[in-house]
Structure 1
């Protein structure tokens, strides 16, 4: 069966931040499967290179650029290098993020600053740098990774919930400003997926029991299940979808 042409990403360049592991890596693999040339990014250059080499072993020709997405100067330089050395960025996936769990009254100030900088500033900085390149070209796709915590709260993660709510609204604001330039900006909202960030929760029988009881699909998600939504938002299939948050969550945001 031939692929539907609207979902074909052949010849397009996709930058995915925070893509040396977890959800970011899964999204990179998905976009590559649809034909995109993927550009990996993370702060840890050694781990990033190991990931690039592993993908090469699977037949995926990825580029790797290590820079800190919370550092404005590093972002500007990194995006400029990618544009010059790989080519124009057609697709940006703002995936870099972190989690820190603690009761609100005990949440450390340094952790608050670290989580807000990583989860919000990076979306603004990389989004702005790439959008400045996309605007003159009159086209582009930006996907900001949100979360079910863009809509829902849970004990011990109030700051994380605040950051993902902010990313949701930043996504809408970006869509409003950039839509007239032919750029679509949407959010991808994962539910509970098995990743390194959630390993402690996966290993907790009580939490898994709570999750499966409250998720209509009755299970944890596998990161590969985010791929179809990412391809849709990155492709021409979503040419009139702008400012939308697509939740891939097994139905948990629909359930009480």
Structure 2
């Protein structure tokens, strides 16, 4: 794909699920990948897989809810590879599977600390690292930013905020050579979704019923859209929210 080879790109949540698929796909495209994850062992395993396939990657442990950790992540990427050209922010946590009146304040805060505060911190420091030469950022959001689902109010709210953050940031940096877009996956078979369905037994049936393609997505199907948005082929795309959802948001 045009304009990806040799680019230095961070992938948060890169140790599993969509982030892992993005990391591997970018490694195949010749990118210099910083695989960042709260689970250092998972990040290292993905970075090693990229290296074994002939690519270049490093693993970094990051807590996206902690600003010092996020700052260190971006500095490590820029230091190792000489610059930062792009980022895919895929780190996230699921809902607790409770109706709104049952959600504890600490549970609400824990969800927003990663899904919204963490996204803000990642964008903030990634943008700072790109101000001189420009770059591209893709925020992994969710169709839950646009449509609700049972027992997921805190998650839907965090993702709606993430989509708003993406749009606002895209406007701020549209003339500075930094493109910022969101990808909104529908139900995708990741460890996070599988874990959420285990907590809330009714979730699987509810999600399956709203996908006209009558199946869940696979992480690689989401990663393909991210790869395009990070490439030079998407040079006129910014501030957009791309739903990759098997038709979910068309209902």
TM superposition score category, shorter chain reference: over 0.9
Is residue 215 of structure 1 aligned with residue 211 of structure 2?
A: yes
Q: Deviations over 1:148-193 (max 9, x none)?
A: 0010101111010000000000000000001110111000110001
Whole-angstrom distance in 2 between the partners of 1:95 and 1:210: 24
Give 1:124's aligned residue.
Answer: 120
Partner residue of 1:30 out of 25, 34, 37: 25
Q: Summarize the alignment of residues 179-190 of structure 1 with structure 2, pairs less than 5 Å apart.
A: 179-190=174-185
Of the three residues 92, 97, 102, the one matched with 2:92 is 97
Q: Given that residues 47 and 58 in structure 2 are in contact (C-alpha distance below 8 angstroms), is that contact kept between their aligned partners in structure 1?
A: yes
Deviation at 1:200, TM superposition (A): 4.8
Runs of 5+ unmatched residues, structure 1: none
Q: Residues 126 and 207 (structure 1 numbering): CA distance in 2 closer, same or farther, change over 3 Å?
A: closer
- Separation of aligned partners in 1, 2:106 and 2:158: 15
Quick check: 1:211–1:219 contact (8 Å CA) kept in 2? no
Aligned-pair CA distance for 1:59 = 3.5
Deviates more, 1:239-248 or 1:45-54: 45-54
Q: Is the 8 A contact 1:30 1:230 kept in 2?
A: no
Match of residue 7 from structure 2: 12
In structure 2, distance between residues paired with 1:206 and 1:22: 22
**Alignment partner, residue 248 of structure 2:** 252
Say whether residues 1:54 and 2:49 are aligned partners. yes
Q: In 2, distance between residues paired with 1:96 and 1:226?
A: 14
Change in 2 beyond 3 A, CA 1:130/1:104: same
TM-align CA RMSD: 1.9
Provide the TM-score with structure 2 as the length reference: 0.92
Q: TM-score, normalization: structure 1? A: 0.91
Measure, in 1, the Cα distance between the counterparts of 2:158 and 2:206.
24
Aligned residues: 249
Distance 1:98 1:120 in 2: 10
Contact persistence 1:14–1:91 (CA under 8 A):
yes
**Alpha-carbon deviation of 1:47?**
2.8
Deviation of 1:94 after TM superposition, in Å, equals: 1.1
2:38 & 2:196 partners in 1: Cα distance? 25
